[in-house]
Amino acid sequence: MANRKKKKIGKASNRKTDPLAWWREARFGMFIHWGIYAVAAGYWKGQPIPRLGEWIMHHAKIPLAEYARLARQFNPVRFDADAWASLAKQAGMKYLVITAKHHDGFAMYDSPCSTYDVMDATPFGRDPMQELARACRKAGLKLGFYYSQYQDWADPDGGSYAPDYDPTKRNFDRYFRHKCIPQVRELLTQYGPIGLIWFDTPGQMTPAQSLELKQLVHSLQPRCLVSGRVGNDVGDYGSLGDNQIPRGPVEGDWETPATINDTWGFKRQDHHWKSAGTLLCLLADLASKGVNYLLNVGPTAQGVIPAPSVTRLREVGRWMKVNGQAIHGTAASPFPYTHDWGRITQKGRTLYLMFFRWPGGQFVLHGLRNKVHRAYLLAGRRKKIAITQTHDRKLDRHVLRLALPSRPPDRKISVVVLELAGKADADPAPLQQGDGAIRLQTHLAQVHCPDSAAPITISRGGVADYWVSTKNSLSWSFKVFEPGLFRVEVVVARAKDKNFPSGYAVKVTLGGATVEGILADEKTVQNAATRYHPEAATTLGKLRIDQPGTHKLALGLLKVPQGDSTGLRVTCVNLLPTR
Ligand code: H79
């Protein structure tokens, strides 16, 4: 996972001078994975090949000469660049990034320095990048090129999978000079203004090589952005992991590339489509954390975007038409945590509350310190919403009450707009929410590591990573308004496709009382974000809080199962009101 230097946010970007301004405003883009792997479409010699479609050469261990023959069958006569651009536009996307060359090394454009490209090796006889560049310009979309700068499975000196070449004889620098740099130059000189180059998997690239690539891009097109996966922290913006959903706001400029089903490149057998509702939750979730959503389609070898993708993107577009202002040009929520009912974005003096679950009737938001002038719904008949605001000085409890209609005005995510007296100002402390629950997310925890040889680290995604020492602990200070009895639930990230690591024992201390227990795979957490990053929740018991005010909860580790080297990966401790 590439990362980059932290950059302060909060400064409004100057549209004219800041080359990132359009990208920050966009929030939503279309990724397109298209190559000769679409001919194979997930099958090799009649056998379905698991995992990512664009990785089939690697996964099916296909020799280069055999794989290269796919090019002869690549004739996407149904390719229509205008149709792709207009689908992106209809969906509310503001930029489009297409694979000019993926790891397989096959150039999907007319590359003068190689014959392993769409013009020389396929019967198609057209340059799709030329047609897309024109279509994007016409549609007002920024165009970006994905370029696999390190991995090249067709070049004897390229990185990673090398079916026909001796890896010990590799000279990466030779590939870098003879293919990578010339091709990046071609992409930036043959197609007019390019919004960004999306590099990927930097592998063993040196800082000097990453920097040279970035400088090459900027020397040819100074306003062209370079993705964080150019490597060595030199990108213009950061790239989170594939399909990664961080738990809280991420500082700086970040993007998550994501799939609609499970593959990037087309696979006939992948029918695991996320619903339009899920895609919208992910879009709202990422926007609420200040992260761009680069959502992928994998067209067929005929040049057609699969129908399930098209119908979903059109549905997303229908929502965006009404509610797009809650996404475009917004910044992360002023609250450092997510709410159970939905997500928040902000723009100027406006807050957008995006309800995943419609509370109906009375809704309570805690911790907003601003005066709210006006509240209204985006969908339906722009109905004004009655507001009451109170502030209890003793508890420093800010309450905003909204009188919502009983039925949700939007069938997917209903948006309530709040117009504030000033820039949004939220209490940064974890607070008991309107539904009585207290959710203590790991990215807001204080980390205590007396055992400094094995410190707990909090990942950028907001998970406690590598917690293996029973001497170390996490704690939270939080405000309680309605005391009572609470069920204590510990939520952990569990490995995908692996058994739950059993045997971790933990202890929760609150005031003088303690509950402890062994974490089990009792309850799998189900939400839009958990498909690739599953979570499991365990109830440890009940604890009572007698007084309103600020309280402190500590989470300790009592026992680590033998042979587990990943450590305990906690995402959240929940205190859920009970009787
Ligand atoms: O272009 C898409 C993916 O093909 C690309 N990034 C997104 C945007 C990507 N390249 N690498 N990865 C994603 C990570 C893939 C890792 C794995 Fe593997 C491939 C796991 C199993 C197969 C690497 C190779 C680790 C084991 C074998």
pLDDT of residue 9: 39
Q: What is the pLDDT of residues 365-392, one digit of tens each?
A: 999 999 999 999 999 876 899 999 999 9
- CA distance linking residue 426 with residue 535, whole number of Å: 28
Is the pLDDT reported for residue 535 higher than 60? yes
Strand blocks (E) in 229-269: 238-239, 254-258
E strand or H helix at 311? helix 307-323
Phi, psi dihedrals of residue 116, rounded to the nearest 5°: -85, 65
Is the pLDDT reported for residue 20 higher than 50? yes
| Residue 200 near ligand 1, beta carbon < 6 Å | yes
| Residue 242 near ligand 1, beta carbon < 6 Å | yes
- The candidate with the shortest Cα–Cα distance to 285, out of 501, 11, 27, is 27
pLDDT of residue 382: 65
Q: What order of strands is seen across the sheet that includes strand 28-32?
A: 225-226, 196-199, 142-147, 95-101, 28-32, 291-297, 254-258, 238-239
Is the pLDDT reported for residue 97 higher than 80? yes
- The candidate with the shortest Cα–Cα distance to 472, out of 454, 492, 494, is 454
Q: Is the dihedral of CA 370, 372, 373, 377 positive or negative?
A: positive
Pocket test for ligand 1, best of 242, 255, 267, 293 (most atoms within 8 A of CB): 242
What is the DSSP-derived secondary structure letter of residue 179? I
Task: Find the mean pLDDT for residues 241-256.
Answer: 95
- The candidate with the shortest Cα–Cα distance to 550, out of 429, 408, 453, 407, is 429
Q: Please, what is the average pLDDT of the chain?
A: 95
Is the pLDDT reported for residue 6 higher than 80? no
Q: What is the pLDDT of residues 72-91, one digit of tens each?
A: 999 999 999 999 999 999 99
| Residue 104 near ligand 1, beta carbon < 6 Å | no
Is the pLDDT reported for residue 173 higher than 90? yes
Task: Find the mean pLDDT for residues 262-291.
Answer: 98
Task: Find the mean pLDDT for residues 111-123.
Answer: 98
pLDDT of residue 163: 85
Residue 10: both structure tokens together: 């909060």
Task: Say how many Å lie between the CA of residue 475 and the centre of ligand 1.
Answer: 36
Confidence of residue 465 (pLDDT cuts 50, 70, 90): confident
